[in-house]
Amino acid sequence: MDKSATMATAEQKEKPHFAFLPSPGMGHIIPLFEFAKRLVINHGFHVSFFVITTGASAAQNELFLSDNLPAGFHAVEIPPVENISSFFTDDMRVVTRLSIIVRESLKQYLSSLLIKHRPKALIIDLFCTDAFEICKEVSIPVHSFFTASTLLMAFSLYLPTLDREVNGEFVDLPQHIQTPGCNPICPHDLLDQVKDRKNDEYKWYLLHVSRLPLAAGIFVNSWDDLEPVTLQALKENSFFQNIPIPPIHTIGPLIKQDEVITEKDAEILAWLDNQPPDSVLFVVFGSGGTLTSEQLTELAWGLEMSHQRFILVARKPSDASASAAFFNVGSDEDDPLMYLPEGFAKKTEGRGLVVPSWAPQVAILNHPSTGAFLSHCGWNSTLESVVHGVPMIAWPLYAEQRMNATFLTEEVGVTIKFPVVPGEELISRKEIEKMVRIVMEGEKGMAMRRRAQELKESAKIALNNGGSSDDSLCRVVQFWKSDQSLCS
């Protein structure tokens, strides 16, 4: 072996070696994926990225087929769990399914993977907390990456206390729920997982969040200017006197950076190139969101009545669950027009574009012709919209999306949301037309766009050298590098 090869080997051995473990689902994988790449590219780490293949969607599989993975980033597949469907029942909800998939995958494979790859620490997301016990047995510290808002994290840290102190259902409480030091939460806006305390979904969620204090540290995908009230409450910790909170590290906004543009994607972007600036409404409900047949029809006619330009990502409707596409996003290649009302395509020809299932979201939000985003308000989509200076119309479907929608409307000022009408689930075409016109044509829409541009600049500053998020991550990296036990 020549001298240069010997030096390279020695240098590789000195790199801190960390492993990442996200649960299935693009909303969980993408932020950990971007965090891992940042450690490799910007800080010289070696990363093993464990990928749970059980329940993987087509979009997840495509992410790791990319040739753009940096040197030092190694995707490691966790083999599928055999007969996983035998653990499921027809009425089982998403978090319960996720938790079972993760538990069985880790039970069968994590110990052997840790022994084989020997990382010095493991970074997990919220639904991988079974890793705490496994890593304790092999003396590997675990850090948590909370991939949703810090507002939800604060509530989640407080949830075990609420569970002990409150009788009955949280949604039946007559007053708002006051997480210490944070702005109050309307019971209607609570995440779905805590709305039925008798359901396994609640029990799993409570189990996961009750383990958060076991983490060596918690990373959050946010920054100081976006969530100042909640971050101050968490960092000061004086309001959470009886709750042991690990160190909180704000490192966001981390959003998808590299997007493979297919031939179909290029056609979408070429269509956008021919539209005026800020004139197109982008309509999509995240990686797992679906509408009912009736609601999709109302949405279509609401868009038509607004006379605005739009891109609509149409997905096979489901009358059973708003999260029906969670485990198969990217696999629906049917003609999207077959789900839409007859005559819709002809009436919107030239100003509307309908695409099936999946679209290059980051590229569309970054395009100068995109003027607003009709979104489910999942946290990844929220950050992508804010980072590109695009205001939103909130259409939350499940999980914590209602909490996000209210926060973005009332505290941040980049979103409007449909009014809640008790007993009415269906949003009418007239209401959709009205909201679209407000954002695309009205003074309120212009004010939201200005606020979104302010946050776009704020996000850029936070991530630049010396910015708040960059500084937060650099301090952690310096600590890790100074700790010789974390070097391979």
Longest dimension (CA), the chain: 75
For residues 25 and 287, the answer to whether their CB atoms sit within 8 Å is yes
Cβ atoms < 10 Å from Cβ of 137: 9
Nearest to 17 by CA among 131, 143, 121, 140: 121
Helices 150-165, 228-236: axis angle to 10 degrees equals 60
Q: What is the pTM of this model?
A: 0.92
Instruction: Give long-range contacts, CB 8 A cutoff, 24+ apart: 87-93.
Output: 92/200, 93/192, 93/193, 93/199, 93/200, 93/201
Q: What is the identity of the amino acid at 349?
A: E
What does the pLDDT read at residue 423? 66
Say how far apart CA 199 and CA 264 lie, in whole Å: 42
For residues 429 and 362, the answer to whether their CB atoms sit within 8 Å is no
Say how far apart CA 161 and CA 206 lie, in whole Å: 10
For residues 153 and 379, the answer to whether their CB atoms sit within 8 Å is no
Instruction: Walk me through the domains of the chain, giving residue ranges and CATH numbers.
Output: 17-256 (3.40.50.2000), 263-460 (3.40.50.2000)
Looking up tokens 């969607």 gives: 57
Q: What is the identity of the amino acid at 2?
A: D
Looking up tokens 């100068």 gives: 368
What does the pLDDT read at residue 420? 75
Say how far apart CA 125 and CA 442 lie, in whole Å: 40
DSSP 146-163: E-S-HHHHHHHHHHHHHH
What does the pLDDT read at residue 275? 98
281 forms bridges with which residues in the sheet?
Answer: 310, 372
For residues 52 and 23, the answer to whether their CB atoms sit within 8 Å is yes
CB neighbours of 233 closer than 8 A, spacing ≥ 6? Answer: 154, 179, 180, 181, 182, 239, 240
What does the pLDDT read at residue 8? 39
Nearest to 402 by CA among 206, 173, 152, 161: 152
121 forms bridges with which residues in the sheet?
Answer: 18
16, 70, 217 from 44: Cα distances, Å: 8, 11, 20
For 312, the enclosing helix (H) or strand (E) is: strand 309-314
Torsion-angle region of residue 139: left (phi > 0), alpha (psi -120 to 50) or beta? left
- The set of catalytic residues is 28, 125
Say how far apart CA 173 and CA 216 lie, in whole Å: 34
Say how far apart CA 133 and CA 144 lie, in whole Å: 14
Cβ atoms < 10 Å from Cβ of 176: 13
Q: What is the identity of the amino acid at 168?
A: G
What does the pLDDT read at residue 6? 38
In sequence order, which ranges of 225-356 are alpha helices (DSSP H)? 228-236, 263-273, 293-306, 344-347
Per-residue pLDDT of the chain in tens (488 residues, 90 and over written 9)? 333 333 334 445 578 999 999 999 888 999 999 999 999 999 999 999 999 999 777 776 777 666 578 999 999 999 999 999 999 998 999 999 999 999 999 999 999 999 999 999 999 999 999 999 999 999 999 999 999 999 999 999 999 999 999 999 999 999 999 999 899 999 999 999 999 999 999 999 999 999 999 999 999 999 999 999 999 988 876 666 678 899 999 999 999 987 888 899 999 999 999 999 999 999 999 877 889 999 999 999 999 999 999 999 998 898 865 555 444 555 455 677 888 999 999 999 999 999 988 899 999 999 999 999 999 999 999 999 999 999 999 999 999 999 999 999 999 999 999 987 766 789 999 999 999 999 999 999 999 999 999 999 999 999 999 999 999 999 999 999 987 665 54
For residues 41 and 134, the answer to whether their CB atoms sit within 8 Å is no
20 forms bridges with which residues in the sheet?
Answer: 49, 123
Looking up tokens 């749970």 gives: 52
Cβ atoms < 10 Å from Cβ of 447: 13
